[in-house]
Amino acid sequence: MYISGLSIRNFRNFKSAHFKFTEGINTIIGENGSGKTNLFYALRILIDDSLPRYINFNSNDFNRGIGNWAGHWIVITVFFEGLDASEEAQALAVQSSGCMDTPSKGSYSVYFRPKYQFRKELYDYSILAEKDSEGLELLLDKITIADYEVVYLSRGSGDFSDDVTYEKYVGNFDKIKFPDPDEKEELVIGTYLPREISIHNEVSCTFIKALRDVEADLRSYSNNPLINLLKGKEKTVEITKQDEIITSIDNLNEKISSLDEVIEIKNGIDKSIKNAVGTTYAPSIDIKSELPNKMEKLFQSLKLWVGDPEDDYKGRVWELSLGGANLIYLSLKLLEYERVKTDRIANFLLIEEPEAHIHTHIQKTLFNNLSKSNTQIIISTHSTHISSASKISSVNVICRGKNEALVFQPSNNLLPNQIRRLERYLDAVRSNLLFAKGVILVEGDAEQILIPAMFEVVFGLSLDEIGVSLINIGSTGFENVANIFHEERIKKYCAILTDQDISVVKLPDSPENDTPNQKHFRASQKSGEERRVIITELCKDNEYLEAFYATHTFEVDLLMNENSPEFVSALDKIYRKESNIKLITKRLENPNIQVAGLEVLRLAKKYGKGWFALLITDELLYNTYIPNYILKAIAFASPHINLSSKVKSIMYRIEKIKNDKYCKTYYNAAKKFETKDKTDLEILEAFIKTFPQDQLTKFLSYL
C-alpha cells in the first residue's frame, strides 16, 4: 500500500490543493514560504503516531483566502492505492457498489467542521424563500471554534479540493446553498474505522524535520535519535555483565565519595551551616557520587563521538561543521527508521529539506542511496541538486499564490517518451526552472550571457530578483521542455526566445543562382521558417507559453538596435592593430545590415558566440537598447513583478540619467523629478508621464 494522493482544503496556506504521489521516492519542490512544512504537517496529522491522535485546530488554521472562516470546513484526505486483502487495509478501502473484487484504493480523512446543530441551521436557512446574505452573516456570526468538531473517517471517495465537491457537500456561501446533514453521504465523506483498527497502529511513519538546529536535538534527551536507538537495549545485556558493570560503578561511586578533597568540602559546608543556624536546626549533609548504576540510565548517558574521515581525532558532534552534524543526524534518523520499519500494511519516511549545509555531491548521493525497500519516501526541497536527481513523474511543485499555495504536477498528462526526455534534460542548473516564478527559454550561450546582464545594467534589477529563470536549452528542442508550462501542469508563464534567421544578405530569386555564402544564409533562413511553424503549433491554445523572435539572429538584432558603441568598445580586447580596429569599427557602424550584420556574425563565429558575448557584457551601459522582442519576452514571463520592484528600477533609471550630462532628452527632466511625499504608485505614474519614450516605460507597458 502506498499514498497516491493528498487533498487539502482550507488548511493554512492551502485553499484547495491536491498532491499526486507514486511508489518509491517522491519530491516536493518549492521556494521558501511556499507551504512545504504545512504539507508535511497535514500528512502527519493522519499517519504519524508521534502527533496527538486528535488535533486541536483553531481559527488560524483556516486559509486566509476564504475570508470569514465560520461555517467552512478544513478537510485533509490521504488517498491510498495498492491495498492488499488484509482486514486492516480493507478498512480503508473506498466504498463502491456492485464491485465483487477486493478494492485496491482507500482513503482516510480528517474533517474540522461545525457540529451537527449548526450545519442543520445553515441547511434550514438555505431553503427559506427570504434568505439573503445579511441573514447568513448573522447566522455565521454565532459560530465559534468551540462549535466545531474533529472527525476522522475512512473509505470516502470525495476529493474536497475540488470546488464542485466542496460546494455540494459543504455548501456554497455565495449562493446560500447548504446540504442537509441528515443525508449522511457516507460513500463520499466516509465512515468511522472499526474500533479494533487504528491507522496509527497499522502504518509506520518517521518524520525527519528540516536540518536547521540538529545540535540542540543531539544534546537533548527527548529528541535525540541516538537515545531512541538505544531504548530497550539494556534488557538484552547478559545478567552477569550487568551485575559486573553495576558493582564496578557502585565501587567507583564509593571511591569518589571518600576522596579527601570531597570530605574536606563536605565538612566545610557542614561547619558553615551549623555556624549560621546552630546545631539544633542544621541539617545533616553528605556528598556522594551518583554515577548511574542502572543499565537504562547508563545507556542514556552514552554520547556520540565523531571525527572527519581524514583525521584520527574524534570529538563531540558540535565540534564538527554544521554539514557534518547534519549528516550524523540524518544517518541516525534513517537508522531509527530502519529499526521501526515493520511488516505493517505500509511504511512511510518523510524528510523535510535535507540539503541544509550539505555539499552538493552528498545531496545527490543521499537522494540516490535512500532505501526504497517496502517504503514510500516523500522529500521536500528547494535544492536544485536534489530536484535534478528526481524523476519528474514523482515531483510536485508548490508555488506561492495570493493567500494560497498552488500545486502543480509537471508530468501530468505527458506521454512516457516526453517524460523521459524531460528527465534527461533537467540537470542541476536547468532544474531551477521548477522553482522560478517565470521562465525564459533560449537556445544559445550569447543569449544566456547577455540578456540577464543587459536587463540588470539597464533597469537595475536582476532576473533572479524578479523571480525569472533564463534557461539555455542548448541543442534540446524547445518542445521537450516548454510543454510542462501548461494549464494541466505548471501554470507559470514561459517565453521562448529564438531567431528567425532571415538572411542579412540579399538572396537571388532562384536558389540555383546562390553563391556558397548565399546558400548558407538561405539554408539558415529555411530552418528558421520551419522552426517557427513548429513553435507556433507548440504555443497554440496555451496561455502560459508564447514565442518571441529575433528578425535575423540575436547578435545582428542587438547590434542594429543602435548598440554599435558596445560592440566597438570591445574590439581592443580582440585586436591589437589600430588599423584592424578602425576597419571593423567602420563596418559595425555602417547602417547597412549587409555590412554591419555580416561583420558581427563573422566576429561571433571567429571568436565563439559565448566568448564574444562576455566581451560585450563588460561594455553594457544603462542606455544600451534592449530589442523589443526581448523586452516583450521578459514582460510575458514576469507579470508578477510587484510595485516595489518597479519603483526600485525607476529610482535607478533616474539616478543614471541625472549623472549623464550627454543625455540631452531626459537630463533636465530627471533633475526635476520629485519623489518626496509620493506613494510608490504616484512615483510610477509620474515616471511614465515624464518619460514616455524611456525603455522602462516601454517595458512596463508590455507587462
Q: Is residue 204 part of a domain?
A: no
- Taking the C-alpha atoms of residue 453 and residue 456, their distance in angstroms, rounded to an integer, is 5
Tens of pLDDT along 664-688? 778 888 888 988 889 999 999 999 9
**355-360 contacts, C-beta under 8 A, 24 or more apart:** 355/381, 355/382, 355/383, 355/385, 355/386, 356/210, 356/211, 356/212, 356/322, 356/326, 357/211, 357/321, 357/322, 357/323, 357/326, 358/211, 358/323, 358/326, 358/327, 359/323, 360/385, 360/428
Q: Supply the range of the domain harboring residue 284.
A: 223-302
Buried b (16+ CB within 10 A) or exposed e, 246-281: eeebeeebeeeeeeeeeeeeeeeebeebeeeeeeee
How many separate domains does the chain show?
Answer: 4
Q: Is residue 389 part of a domain?
A: no
Could you tell me if 610 and 653 lie in one domain?
no
Question: What does the pLDDT average to over 140-161?
Answer: 95
- Taking the C-alpha atoms of residue 156 and residue 111, their distance in angstroms, rounded to an integer, is 12
- Higher pLDDT: 337 or 313? It is 337
- What distance lies between CA 438 and its chain's CA centroid? 14
Q: What one-character-per-residue DSSP string does 287-302 give?
A: -------SHHHHHHT-
* Residue 482, amino acid: A
Q: Is residue 349 part of a domain?
A: no
Could you tell me if 648 and 534 lie in one domain?
no
Could you tell me if 605 and 658 lie in one domain?
no
Q: Is residue 430 part of a domain?
A: no
Q: How many percent of the chain have pLDDT more than 90?
A: 55
Residue reference for cell 559546608: 269
Q: Is residue 205 part of a domain?
A: no
Could you tell me if 558 and 650 lie in one domain?
no
Q: What's the pLDDT at 662? A: 74
Helix (H, G, I), strand (E, B) or coil at 28: strand
Could you tell me if 660 and 614 lie in one domain?
no
Could you tell me if 598 and 654 lie in one domain?
no
Could you tell me if 607 and 654 lie in one domain?
no
Q: Is residue 426 part of a domain?
A: no
- Higher pLDDT: 101 or 526? It is 526
Could you tell me if 480 and 618 lie in one domain?
yes
- What distance lies between CA 538 and its chain's CA centroid? 27
Q: Is residue 12 part of a domain?
A: yes
Burial of 692 (0-12, 13-18, 19+ CB in 10 A): exposed
- pLDDT at residue 211 is higher than 70: no
- Taking the C-alpha atoms of residue 656 and residue 658, their distance in angstroms, rounded to an integer, is 5
Could you tell me if 608 and 513 lie in one domain?
yes
Helices H / strands E in the chain, number of each = 29, 17
- Taking the C-alpha atoms of residue 4 and residue 19, their distance in angstroms, rounded to an integer, is 8
Q: What's the pLDDT at 61? A: 96
Among residues 277, 302, 327, the one where a domain terminates is 302
Q: What's the pLDDT at 212? A: 55
CA distances (Å), 466 to each of 78, 456, 461, 491, 634, in order? 35, 11, 7, 17, 10
Could you tell me if 618 and 651 lie in one domain?
no
Buried b (16+ CB within 10 A) or exposed e, 391-411: bbbbbbbbbbbeebbbbbbbb
**In which band, very low, low, confident or very high, does the pLDDT at 358 lie, cut at 50, 70 and 90?**
low
Q: What's the pLDDT at 613? A: 94
Could you tell me if 600 and 661 lie in one domain?
no
Closest to 435 (Cα-Cα) out of 480, 386, 402: 386
pTM to 2 decimals? 0.77
- pLDDT at residue 305 is higher than 70: no
- Taking the C-alpha atoms of residue 147 and residue 359, their distance in angstroms, rounded to an integer, is 50
Residue 80 has φ and ψ, to the nearest 5°, of: -115, 150
Could you tell me if 130 and 11 lie in one domain?
yes
Pairing outcome for strands 545-550 and 493-499: parallel
Most confident of 51-65, 120-134, 331-345: 120-134
- Higher pLDDT: 585 or 286? It is 585
Q: What is the DSSP letter of 639?
A: T
- pLDDT at residue 632 is higher than 60: yes
Q: Is residue 8 part of a domain?
A: yes
- Higher pLDDT: 315 or 444? It is 444
Residues in the chain: 703
Among residues 260, 283, 302, the one where a domain terminates is 302
Tens of pLDDT along 22-67? 998 898 988 888 899 999 999 999 999 888 888 889 999 999 999 9
* Residue 495, amino acid: A
Closest to 430 (Cα-Cα) out of 416, 608, 421: 421
Between the two ends of the chain, the Cα-to-Cα distance in Å is 48
Among residues 623, 655, 688, the one where a domain terminates is 623
Question: What does the pLDDT average to over 489-493?
Answer: 94
CA distances (Å), 531 to each of 493, 497, 538, in order? 21, 12, 10
Neighbours of 283 (CB within 10 A): 8
- Higher pLDDT: 50 or 569? It is 569
Q: What's the pLDDT at 102? A: 66
- Taking the C-alpha atoms of residue 471 and residue 362, their distance in angstroms, rounded to an integer, is 25
**127-133 contacts, C-beta under 8 A, 24 or more apart:** 131/176, 132/176, 133/176
- Taking the C-alpha atoms of residue 12 and residue 39, their distance in angstroms, rounded to an integer, is 9
**In which band, very low, low, confident or very high, does the pLDDT at 100 lie, cut at 50, 70 and 90?**
very low
Tens of pLDDT along 241-289? 877 888 888 888 889 888 898 888 888 887 887 787 777 777 777 878 7
Pairing outcome for strands 305-306 and 203-208: unpaired
Rg, Å, the chain Cα set = 34
Q: What's the pLDDT at 279? A: 76
- pLDDT at residue 590 is higher than 70: yes
CA distances (Å), 30 to each of 350, 363, 381, 397, 525, in order? 16, 17, 7, 6, 41
CA distances (Å), 691 to each of 221, 663, 668, 669, in order? 65, 13, 11, 8
